[in-house]
Structure 1
Amino acid sequence: MEGGDLVKKQQTSYTYWVRDTREDAAPLPVPRKLTADDISKPAQPNTLGSVWNQAGTWEEKNLNTWASDRIKELLKSLDSLEFSNGKAYIEGVSKCSGDAFLVIVRNKKRVGYTYELSLKFKALSGYGTGEWQIQNECKKIKGHLDIPEFSFGELEDLEMTVSLSEEKDLGAVDKSQICTAMRSFLVPIREKLHKFEQELKER
């Protein structure tokens, strides 16, 4: 009786089962000796911060130079717009003022910016004379597109005002029509700023 109990106990024990493995069973793990490379290479932590901030606790980077240069570059690449009286194009960016930053807090990245812009525009007639046709007369039309302060995530609410540099010879109706036409730049400007925002998030 005691002998039968002993055999039964052996068959149900873990070590007995391991010794009785079948040929199709998975092979037992084989210990591997650590090499010199294994010992010399420390584990690389998955952090976003600088070398000195491996814990990723707090780090802020100033991105003003990159952001200002990139915004100007994108806005200068705007295509001209065609109108019945001629076309208009952006001559340059006369104001690009603001701040952009990247913050790492607890190993999580956050970006942001605040900017205000002013763009110079010029209107041409269909013949490229440097003037805009108004009531069969060609007049020189120049001005600014001013965009008040806007921040990250606010591009859908972007606003723009149009100011004309030389308007003494323009009637109220003509000025209103020109300003309305120049506000058409708001859509492509917003698209360029969306591109800037996406590039900022990917930094």
Structure 2
Amino acid sequence: MAKWGEGDPRWIVEERPDATNVNNWHWTEKNAGPWSKDRLKELLNDLKISQNGVDCKITELEKIEGEASANNRKGKLIFFYEWDIKLKWEGKLSGGSDVVKGEVHIPNLSEENDVSEVDMTVTIKGSGEEAQRVKAFMHNVGRNEIRTQLKEYIRSLKEEFSKGLILPKKGENSVKPDNVSTITSGFNKKINMEPVISPENKQIGCKLDTKSIEMSEKFQCRAEEFYNAMTRIEMVTAFTQGHVKLEAEKGGKFALFGGNITGEFRELVPGKKIVQYWRYKQWPDQHFSEVTFNIEEKEDHTLVTLKQVLVPASEVEQTQENWRRYYFDSIKRAFGFGAFL
């Protein structure tokens, strides 16, 4: 078997402008946070909204908290962004005597929801008929104008900021649009995750006939790379291709495959070990198994040993098959961690 860096054409540097990341095979990540803040300020600050005798303007981007990134793996772009935005605005009726001031709060701008579905709350300071009319205008017209600017931010993130993440192949001066496909992280804040264990008895699950599963799998990657594939939201999304919630810390919850798999991280040792409480949606209510991944880096591969206890006896065979199909095989396909040719 080939040793690290030997025998696989994906490791061979071909003639290209940068001589790196051949065929865009490796996972690359670009922090879009600072760029996003500047772009959102550019799009929203001093935005004028006028119609039917009402004139309003965004006067300040008071708060913008969150993060954004663009990732490339095997020619696919994966975007993650999550922003909490607060805007100050002021407006006036044509011929009116009062300047109305207020705020717009956008708590959850993320790739999980279409911009048309993003929550947006309009408030005002003060009261009176004029103030209420201007508020109604901002609610009905102003929010749509702001959504248009948010759409432009997302377009810029995907088309402008991400330039250079996917590199042209040998003999090409640019990346052909047909060679680029895009998926989003699907970070799902709407999943309601109940506590995994009862604080009263500290017992996992409920009484039923259970068995254990033990499996091992070889991956052509570093131990740290497999660990990242199981704990980084962008990478988990890439191999599951579905809605994901993930908090990679002790006690942090996760939900994968559209909420069909849920659980909690119990122990995390980077590059070495992951312990989870884990359940399949169809199992008896509140019953969780315990899954331990032991990750051991060898000379030319990484060996992952999985042990799962308290699996409902009737689900053992299907659960074992699903580990191989939806986790191990999918991870190998998504990140090129399969056997070298």
TM superposition score category, shorter chain reference: 0.5 to 0.7
Residue 182, structure 1, aligned to residue 138, structure 2? yes
Aligned length: 145
Find the aligned partners of 1:90 and 1:99 in 2 and give their Cα distance: 22
Which is greater in Rg?
1
Q: What is the match of residue 102 of structure 1?
A: 70
Q: Quote the residue 1:123 is aligned against.
A: 91
Offset of residue 124 of structure 1: 2.5
How far, CA to CA, are the matches of 1:199 and 1:72 in structure 2?
A: 13
Q: CA deviation at 1:100?
A: 0.9
Rounded Cα–Cα distance in structure 2 between residues aligned with 1:155 and 1:119: 17
What SS does the corresponding residue of 2:25 show, helix, strand or coil?
coil
Instruction: Give the corresponding residue for 2:99.
Output: 140
Alignment of 1:153-168 (within 5 A): 154-165=114-125, 167=126
TM-score by length of 1: 0.62
What SS does structure 1 have at the residue aligned with 2:38?
helix
Aligned partner of 2:149: which letter?
K
Question: 1:102 Cα deviation (Å)?
Answer: 0.9
Q: Aligned partners of 1:62 and 1:76: how far apart in 2?
A: 23
Checking the alignment, whether the CA contact within 8 Å between 2:93 and 2:134 is kept in structure 1 is no
Change in CA separation of 1:176 and 1:72 when aligned onto 2, cut-off 3 Å: same
Distance in 2, Cα, partners of 1:89 & 1:77: 6
Which residue identity is paired with 1:151?
S
In structure 2, C-alpha distance between the alignment counterparts of 1:69 and 1:147, rounded to whole Å: 17
**1:79 matched to 2:35:** no
Q: Secondary structure at the match of 2:48?
A: coil
Residue pair 2:109, 2:115 contacting (<8 A) in 1 also: yes
Question: Partner residue of 1:65?
Answer: 34
Equivalent residues of 1:148, 1:159 under 8 A apart: yes
Q: 1:51 to 1:98 in 2, by over 3 A?
A: farther
Q: What per-residue deviation string (whole Å, max 9, x for no partner) do you get for residues 37-94 of structure 1? A: xxxxx84369xxx75533622122111000110011011252232344x421111211
Decide whether aligned partners of structure 1 residues 115 and 93 sit closer, same or farther in structure 2, where only a CA change above 3 A counts. Answer: same
TM-score by length of 2: 0.38
Cα distance in 2 for residues equivalent to 1:200 and 1:174: 38
Q: Could you tell me how far apart the structure 1 residues matched to 2:135 and 2:92 are?
A: 14
Counterpart residue type for residue 57 of structure 1: H
More helix by percentage: 1
Higher deviation after alignment, 174-183 or 69-78 = 174-183
In structure 1, runs of 5+ residues without a counterpart are 1-41, 128-132
Q: In 1, are the aligned partners of 2:28 and 2:71 still within 8 Å (CA)?
A: yes
